[in-house]
Amino acid sequence: MTTSPRQIKLGAFLMQTGHHIAAWRHPDAQADAGVNFKHYVELARRAEAAKFDAVFLADAVGVRNRNIDSLSRTARSDHFEPLTLLSALAAVTEQIGLIATVSTTYNEPYHVARKFASLDQISGGRSGWNLVTSSGEGEAQNFNLDAHVDHAQRYARAAEFHDVVLGLWDSWEDDAFIRDKDSGVYFEPEKLHPLNHRGEHFRVRGPLNVARSPQGRPVVVQAGASPAGRDLAARTAEVIFVAHQTFEEAQSFYRDIKQRARDYGRDPDQIKIMPGIFPVIGRTQAEAEEKFARLQDLIHPIVGVQLLSNMIGGFDLSAYPVDGPLPDLPETNGGKSRQQLLIDLARRENLSIRDLYLRIAGARGHQQIIGTPQSVADQLQQWFEEEGADGFNIMSPWLPGGLDDFIDLALPELRRRGLVRTEYQGHTLRDHLGLHRPEHRAVVGHRLSQAA
């Protein structure tokens, strides 16, 4: 039996008009992208034709930017609810994976299990759930709270939430529904498994009223990098989206997660680590730098300062000199790992507030690459081959042009090196990612009891 060579996994991270904070002002950007379904159809089909593993939609259940002057100058306040959008995209694509963010803090497990199981049925086994705990105060205030739930409590809830969702996805064995017209038996009762969960945060009887997923269950994705986030990801995640500024950080995170997975008795190869990459690509280095400079020139200072304020945990920087240093910051109750990443970057490179917001205006703390197809491929190859990543979430600077640049310029170079696929080898998201199809818990339990 031959083993296929390990290849880079690729996600197309679709952020409305693009990931650069001023992308909507780019002359070639689709300014109304957030509510333009045709725009998303074209992007998803383009990514599928390029054999990406998945498209990914981030989400927050609220408008994060509370500064009206900044909010009115950004394209982040109107966009589709992601599961609704992905269900529609499932009907106009055939093989590409469909991953969406849904928060464990402001949802209930039964809702999440049912929606992703439905998407998996509709798409033929292509769905993935990006489990997050939310990070913004604005989200809390849309759900009967004055302040965001404490970080530790959010992660404790998330861990139990995950377990309930997975239990609900195993409500039915694969062949439970026989639908035999002659006998009048629709499903075999012994293959139904109500959950009957009673825990600290949730009481859920079940069963789920959706049959077991074509791929066993939807793929579980996570994005946390704090100590609590790492531990939850090592125990539960199958894909991890993460932000790194240096190769050394990427290597350290990669090795830490894989070891934590081993400690939990998991196969580390069954966790795919996919850092976000913000590539600006030109046929020459000068062309790439000119493309990036054009975007940077479109940033209004009010927008830049507010973006940074949001990214460091909601601390308002507007009262500080924009060309002065980043002040000492209190610990955030939001995204702790991202706050620390940005503090470390500012201190390491002696960046002013303006310098720092210019640095994150596109990648928001993820790795930024400005270069030629060859230099972009060089970096991705190094991270992939030297234990920094299993793949990458491609964060196009503006859309659709930034995604086109990656597909038309960088992908041919990666294919020339044998680093990415030329054709899909399967039909489900698990097939694409090289993840095992999980057996039903009851089937595993029965086999173990028989062997005892």
* Residue 306 structural domain: 298-361
Predicted confidence (pLDDT) per residue in 109-139, tens digit: 999 999 999 999 999 999 999 999 887 777 8
In this structure, what is the dihedral angle of CA atoms 100, 104, 107, 112, given to the nearest 10 degrees?
50
Asked which of 361, 396, 413 is the last residue of a domain, the reply is: 361
Residue 123 shares a structural domain with residue 159? yes
Q: What is the C-alpha separation between 72 and 70, in angstroms, rounded?
A: 5
Q: Distance from first CA to last CA of the chain, Å, rounded?
A: 31
Only one residue has tokens 């704090």, namely 226
Q: What is the C-alpha separation between 146 and 140, in angstroms, rounded?
A: 7
Q: Strand, helix or coil at 367?
A: strand
Secondary element (H or E) of residue 41: helix 37-49
**What's the confidence (pLDDT) of residue 1?**
33
Residue 24 DSSP one-character state: G
Residue 257 DSSP one-character state: H
Residue 247 shares a structural domain with residue 353? no
Q: Are 438 and 428 in contact (CB under 8 A)?
A: no
Residue 344 shares a structural domain with residue 428? no
Residue 272 shares a structural domain with residue 302? no
Residue-wise over 335-352: b if at least 16 C-beta within 10 A, else e?
bbbbbbbbbebbeeeebb
**What's the confidence (pLDDT) of residue 64?**
67
Number of domains in the chain: 2
Residue 183 DSSP one-character state: T
Asked which of 341, 361, 381 is the last residue of a domain, the reply is: 361
Asked which of 321, 341, 361 is the last residue of a domain, the reply is: 361
**What's the confidence (pLDDT) of residue 66?**
65
Q: What is the C-alpha separation between 34 and 407, in angstroms, rounded?
A: 22
170 φ, ψ (degrees, to nearest 5): -105, 25
Q: What is the C-alpha separation between 243 and 275, in angstroms, rounded?
A: 6
* Residue 68 covered by a domain: yes
* Residue 182 covered by a domain: yes
Annotation-wise, does 101 bind a ligand?
yes
* Residue 89 covered by a domain: yes
- CATH number of 239's domain: 3.20.20.30
* Residue 289 covered by a domain: no
* Residue 40 covered by a domain: yes
**What's the confidence (pLDDT) of residue 65?**
61
Q: Splitting the chain (452 residues) into consecutive groups of 10 residues, what average pLDDT does each group show?
A: 76 96 94 96 98 95 75 85 97 98 95 98 98 81 82 90 97 97 98 97 97 96 85 93 92 96 96 97 98 94 89 86 89 77 89 90 89 98 98 97 98 98 96 97 80 68
Q: How far is CA 219 from CA 17, 165, 428, in A?
A: 26, 12, 10
Residue 333 shares a structural domain with residue 386? no
Residue 251 shares a structural domain with residue 323? no
Q: How far is CA 138 from CA 44, 377, 385, in A?
A: 30, 39, 40
**What's the confidence (pLDDT) of residue 2?**
41
Residue 231 shares a structural domain with residue 337? no
Residue 305 shares a structural domain with residue 274? no
Annotation-wise, does 155 bind a ligand?
yes
* Residue 95 covered by a domain: yes
Q: What is the C-alpha separation between 129 and 237, in angstroms, rounded?
A: 10
Tokens describing residue 315? 């601390």
Residue 356 shares a structural domain with residue 380? no
Residue 119 shares a structural domain with residue 154? yes
Nearest to 437 by CA among 217, 131, 230: 217
Annotation-wise, does 110 bind a ligand?
no
Residue 167 shares a structural domain with residue 202? yes
pTM, entire model: 0.91
* Residue 290 covered by a domain: no
Annotation-wise, does 59 bind a ligand?
yes
* Residue 366 covered by a domain: no
Q: Strand, helix or coil at 120?
A: helix
Residue 138: alpha-carbon gap to chain centroid: 21
Q: What is the C-alpha separation between 8 and 388, in angstroms, rounded?
A: 12
Tokens describing residue 275? 């850092």
Nearest to 139 by CA among 88, 113, 101, 165: 101
Annotation-wise, does 70 bind a ligand?
no
Predicted confidence (pLDDT) per residue in 205-252, tens digit: 999 999 999 999 999 999 878 888 899 899 999 999 999 989 999 999
Residue 52 shares a structural domain with residue 130? yes
